[in-house]
Structure 1
Amino acid sequence: SRCGRMDQGCAYGNRPVMMTFDGDRIDVNEFNVAKDLFFVIVDLGSSKDTKEILHQLNHCYPFAENELQKNVQEYLGSTSAQMTRQAHEALHQGDAVRVGQLMKEAQAEFDKNLQPACPSQLTAPILHRTLNYASIQPYILGGKGVGSQGDGSAQFIVKDAADQEKVIEILEQDLGMSCLKLVIQAEQRVRKAVIPAAGFGTRLFPASKVVKKELFPIVDRDGRAKPAIMVIIEEAVNSGIEEICLIVQSGDRQLFEAFFKTPPPIENFNKLSKEDQEYCQYLMDLGNRISFVMQETQDGFGHAVYCAREWVGNEPFLLMLGDHLYSSDHQSSCAKQLLDVYKRAGHSVVGLQVTHVDQLHMFGCVTGIWQDPDSILSVQIHRSTFLYRR
């Protein structure tokens, strides 16, 4: 890769990503880890000449003229690719011990094959003194240099937070080096759902002039008449969602609160059957899961979702449409299927439906590669024209 390519990984924060470089093409795939992984990043307090390192390594391409150049190409090619695949799998499994072993192996192979190509920078005495510092050995599982190596930075993986603290304490006190903690957290379960419900309902005019489209009554599978938004919320809750955020206009909040958070007047409550009185409590329990976020100006669907950013925080969330009813042909609901796929894939997923070309102008369309035939599609490009789709 060209210098700086891997810096783009910083855009993903502490989310693990697999980045593959091939000429001008960069593929980025997020993945999750099965267990929390604890790292220590160390500023070695020295310097390196990255341009010189890359300059010397570039002399080894495109054709190897001697054994040294052949070793450089082999390490940066097949050896590095194999180790990266193994590291990806170990990270995904949350196997800190294996990651540590691979870090040690990668460093040893790097020193053997690349150090002779640029000894002035890659001999890196401070890096190797730090990696082999006796006092930290009981607390680390493995370590290696970072990026193009040299006396720039080092990284260690440790067993837990206690060992992480201990390594940092030793390196800062004994060697005077600055350290940073990095914790890659295990897969986060999707606890929250966001449901925009602030639109006017143009396609349902004039009925939407008097009744919010999300409050249109429908008869659900259980035989009860209920507003459409309740069916959507129930699907989310039944799929394992714990908290719901409704994006509404400030003037409509009272309507939703009256339904989900306010019991009927006592005179009306007493007219209900015992079963329906118990159902009132169910509605209140459902309401306890619901928070409201205001969309003061109707600036589109994307803006509505953006309004929930503080409520969502740094968690994965399920996004459902407040005016779409979801019907599954399977025992598992649409929301549950989507969450199951997210758990398997470890990155953002979207539910799709087959749409006739005559209706395509009202929707977007995607193309990609089937991971599971007619089931899971790895989306590559979004377009909304029939010509591209064909």
Structure 2
Amino acid sequence: MRILVTGGAGYIGSHTVLLLLQEGHQVSVIDNFSNSSPESLRRVASLAGRSLDAYHIDLLDAESLAQAVGEIKPEAVIHFAGLKAVGESVAQPLKYYKNNVVGTLNLLEAMNKAECRTIVFSSSATVYGESTDLPLHENTLRNATNPYGRTKLHIEEMLEELAASDSRWHIANLRYFNPVGAHESGLIGEDPQGIPNNLMPFVAQVAIGKRAEVQVFGGDYLTADGTGVRDYIHVLDLATGHLAALDYLSNSQGVHVWNLGTGAGSSVLEVIDAFARISGRPVPYRITERRPGDVAESYAHPEKARLDLGWKAERGLEQMVADMWNWQSNNPDGFPEANHQLVNAKSLQDFIRGSSPTITE
């Protein structure tokens, strides 16, 4: 299939692009490289032994986006592009609504014009909000409690209303839990800009010596060790879920929703202990006050994905940590910083010439 991946140079996107290429699909990527590096696409193409096309476009640029989608003529879209930091969304809600919701609206209009009506959307378990109805089912009440989560919820609702108005649409809303880990090669992985927003990359940076300690927010929850419990899922299991959803949509119209998680949780201290053990490095931590809005536990009920898609998470916490450490130890500063600065068409083309994807403005 001809598949367009928005945000394909990012963490989850790059791993999914790799699997798509390995499955023989023709892949095009649209990314604005605001929180990702063209280097990830070069490495993906090298790992796959195949080329791909990439467009340096922001989804808010509706005209350029529509032109690119018209050129690509995709048969399906996997939509990752979007801002994703909860704290930043609270401080800058309008930025999140504009980027995530308006960007998706522009994408859907471009798809409709190009006669492409199959989309796998990167949603989030944040749409459930502070629910204590565990495990979280797909029919658990959606009650997002921060602007980031509400942008995901609004997009889900927009997709539902679109499908209700036009039966030609094939839509999957995939609600992720906590993606972690990296490709086993150690060549691609999570490369957060600035201070990591998520636990695992923060722990990895402490283990490698970039940061002094991990702050553990809350040690008095009603859990086994008093720290918060989350459903961590390996990024490659998550990527496989996208391919399974894409396959399902080939014969299924309307909107379909699946949780992508393991169905089990690990506490903050369990993650820290596993990282220290596997890396052989000390991971100092300090327990501080709880963060507003955090719940004691959050984990998925993944049975629907197993029944509908034949999919389940295969990798446990040990593998997640081992692969994350392999990535971090081989790339202590992430992708080369210079490659994050390649933001114009000429330098992008010079960067990838002869070895990787064709990137156009």
TM-score range, shorter chain: under 0.3
Name which structure has the greater RCO, CA cutoff 8 Å, separation 6+. Answer: 2
TM-score normalised by L of structure 1:
0.25
TM-score normalised by L of structure 2:
0.27
